[in-house]
Amino acid sequence: MKLNELTIKQAIDGLRKKEFSALDLTESCLDQIARLNPLLNAFLTICNKEAINAAKQADEKLRIGDKSPLLGIPIALKDIYLTKNIRTTASSKVLDNYIPQYDATVVKKLKDAGAIILGKLNCDAWAHGSSGENSDYGPVKNPYNVEYTPGGSSSGSAASVAADMSIASGGTDTGGSIRLPAAFCNVVGLKPTYGRVSRNGIIAMSSSLDSIGHFTKTVEDSALYLNVTAGKDSFDATTPNLPVPDYSKNLNKSIKGTRIGIPKEFFTEGLDKKIKEKTMEAISFFEKQGAEIIDISLPHTDYAIAAYYIIQPAEVSSNLARYDSIRYGNKRSYFGKEAKRRIMLGTFTLSAGYYDAYYKKAMKVRTLIKKDYEEAFKKVDAIITPVSPTLPWKLGEKINDPLKMYLSDIFTVTANLAGIPGLSVPIGIIGPSTSSEQAALPVGMQILGPQFSEELLFNLGHQYEIGNPNKEKPQL
């Protein structure tokens, strides 16, 4: 196994045993980036010198026995994380040459834990999208088949981990932007509870929906990463003053007796038959492990997309108003089509005469969706659904049909509206079919739980992973 293919856990063990150095590990990742980024377009900024210097400093700390939790681990960050003295664009030409003066709270936490920043990752501009195609710097390609989308908006984040260009990566999830690309790229993706990880220094898309999460190669790695990033931040009033547990502590706990809900609204017409089969196989695994499988209903699910695409553009129009080219950034004419579309939709729904008819009604639906989950979690401990109703689609297939693109988030937006955590875990590869157009493409399931139940999600995901090891790697 090459060093860049290691998990966080494997890399930490190897570094502490002096089997290799942080410099060796970092150079292995940088070599992979140099080889594959021209093909995949995952990185917008590559921090070669900074990463090499940070790796040398990590080796000095390792030499004296420093055991910081991510010391020497090379990671990459979605390009809406502010990074001091490192170009940050939000994948938009509006911020083409913007250099932040400070690090986002989550970036500071990662650096303090010893992580090495390899660079900044491509995404849909301002995180507006489900396919990565709305980036002003060109789309990211799926490592499993470069003709297909890796999912969005955190497209580069998922692709970088799937292609072993980074050991882990940071992303954001506003309506599925971590879970969808994680499923499409065969990696683990976590959308934490809203507020569990600080949003300070993350370029805002939709402030009441944005969750700051990450991509890893295993569930255990995801737990180790959240150990570092979670917690109260005085710069973000939405972060609760709750203790951060050791998320890796209960990974091997028995799941016997755990009540898992299967919502009928997620298994209806429109769900790809093969995805349904894979998801039901995963559910069957949990049942064999002693979990209790319970049919449930989340009755307002059908209204989620409509409510989401009123609330989210309304907040987008407010957040993007600050980019006036006076203090920093280019003129507003540099906004892409999707950003303009969402600004106009949001401004319309917030305008006089329409606020009550649209925005206020959408907020009422949001409350009903939240109540649906609260009622469900009185009966079950966790919920399992598919991440997406379809397999990854070909690049260009939906780009001219925004409504069709928006529907790709149909299974993921409810978690953001309710503020609950969701963990996307790979459950296999589908294809190729008899049709020459269908490639072999990854599928994921999402495990949902009540607010601040990440420990349970990691426990369930880890147990599934042990019984169903993810061995499929892209052939690049």
CATH number for the domain spanning 157: value is 3.90.1300.10
Neighbouring C-beta atoms of residue 344, cutoff 10 Å: 12
Residue found under tokens 């007796």: 257
Provide the domain count of the chain: 1
Active site residue 9: no
Query: Cα(221)–Cα(392) distance, rounded to whole angstroms?
Result: 25
Position 305 scores a pLDDT of 96
Catalytic one of 78, 109, 278, 398: 78
Catalytic one of 153, 166, 198, 408: 153
pLDDT digits (tens, 9 = 90+) for 142-176: 999 999 999 999 999 999 999 999 999 999 999 99
Burial of 435 (0-12, 13-18, 19+ CB in 10 A): exposed
Any domain includes 304: yes
Angle among Cα 59, 63, 66 to the nearest 5 degrees reads 90
Burial of 2 (0-12, 13-18, 19+ CB in 10 A): exposed
Torsion over CA of 99, 103, 104 and 105, rounded to 10 degrees?
-170
Structural domain including 59 reads 3-467
Active site residue 28: no
Any domain includes 472: no
Position 436 scores a pLDDT of 46
Any domain includes 40: yes
C-alpha R_g of the chain: 21
Query: Cα(24)–Cα(72) distance, rounded to whole angstroms?
Result: 10
Any domain includes 348: yes
Any domain includes 476: no
Pairing, β 168-173 against β 74-78: parallel
Residue found under tokens 């739980």: 449
CA 347, distance to chain mean position in Å, is 27
Position 470 scores a pLDDT of 87
Any domain includes 451: yes
Query: Cα(120)–Cα(158) distance, rounded to whole angstroms?
Result: 12
Catalytic one of 166, 177, 211, 453: 177
Query: Cα(197)–Cα(193) distance, rounded to whole angstroms?
Result: 8
Query: Cα(372)–Cα(263) distance, rounded to whole angstroms?
Result: 11
Any domain includes 473: no
Active site residue 435: no
Any domain includes 475: no
Position 52 scores a pLDDT of 98
Q: What is the DSSP letter of 247?
A: T
pLDDT less than 70: residues of the chain = 432-438
Half-sphere exposure of 339 (CA within 13 A, CB side): 24
